[in-house]
């Protein structure tokens, strides 16, 4: 994990942060990892794959062996060094500018045939629809969160820190999905324009 750029999210850092929240077994951590970060698309085995590295770095420690020697039921907790590492990751800034390893950019770079552009256009259309659905879902959650806060304030109450952070996360998710929808919409339009120009009638020499 020491090789990661500050601010980047890795499965290892996610596992560490989950253990800072509460000690857990490897199997349960795998479930929490997938549930809490569904869009990262980590598998449940990602938790198991990172336990040894985290332990070697002194960020977590084994507190109880699993019954019958079942390693997936081994219980771990974050050490003081692990808590400090997690807090440092939360508070420090990411590398600016971020690393750009975008799949669509790479596909554009290597598109050399008309069929490549046609296939890429179909991909972009599918991704645009998928992102639009995620944006709508996140936007509804953001609206519900803001309405809930207004109801609390009307009763003279304040939301908890955990709830407020959750609401901020929802709003940010909606913003991220919305930006992606706009990006894909613009990319789709540019690809359509490029294909129209490519497939349009070529202009011949003017008659004398």
pLDDT digits (tens, 9 = 90+) for 156-192: 999 999 899 999 999 999 999 999 999 999 999 999 9
- The better pLDDT of the pair 92, 73 is held by 73
Q: Which class is 11-91 in CATH?
A: mainly alpha
- For residue 206, the model assigns a pLDDT of 55
Assess whether pLDDT exceeds 80 at residue 99: no
Confidence class of residue 94 from pLDDT cuts 50, 70 and 90? Answer: low
Helix, strand, coil abundance in the chain, percent, nearest 5:
70, 5, 25
Q: Which of 110, 114, 130, 111 is nearest to 185 (CA)?
A: 130
Q: Is 76 helix (H, G, I), strand (E, B) or coil?
A: strand
Token pair, residue 155, equals: 């009763």
Token pair, residue 145, equals: 């969160």
- For residue 61, the model assigns a pLDDT of 96
CA distance 132 to 179: 10
Assess whether pLDDT exceeds 70 at residue 44: yes
- For residue 31, the model assigns a pLDDT of 94
- For residue 3, the model assigns a pLDDT of 44
Segment 124-143, tens digit of pLDDT: 999 999 999 999 999 999 99
Identify the DSSP state of 113: S
Assess whether pLDDT exceeds 60 at residue 1: no
pLDDT averaged over every residue in the chain: 89
């Amino acid at each position: 994990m020491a090789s990661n750029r500050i601010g980047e999210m890795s499965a290892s850092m996610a596992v560490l942060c989950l253990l800072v929240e509460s000690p857990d077994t490897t199997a349960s951590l795998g479930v929490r990892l997938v549930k809490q970060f569904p869009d990262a698309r980590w598998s449940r085995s990602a938790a198991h794959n990172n336990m040894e590295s985290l332990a070697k770095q002194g960020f977590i420690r084994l507190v109880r062996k699993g019954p019958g020697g079942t390693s997936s039921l081994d219980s771990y907790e974050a050490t003081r060094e692990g808590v400090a590492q997690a807090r440092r990751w939360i508070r420090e800034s990411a590398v600016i500018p971020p690393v750009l390893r975008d799949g669509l950019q790479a596909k554009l770079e290597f598109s050399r045939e008309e069929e490549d552009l046609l296939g890429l256009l179909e991909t972009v259309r599918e991704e645009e629809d998928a992102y639009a659905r995620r944006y709508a879902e996140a936007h509804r959650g953001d609206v519900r969160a803001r309405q809930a806060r207004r109801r609390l304030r009307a009763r003279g109450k304040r939301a908890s820190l955990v709830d407020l952070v959750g609401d901020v996360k929802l709003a940010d998710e909606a913003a991220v999905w919305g930006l992606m929808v706009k990006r894909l919409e613009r990319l789709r339009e540019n690809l359509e324009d490029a294909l129209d120009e490519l497939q349009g009638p070529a202009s011949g020499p003017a008659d004398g």
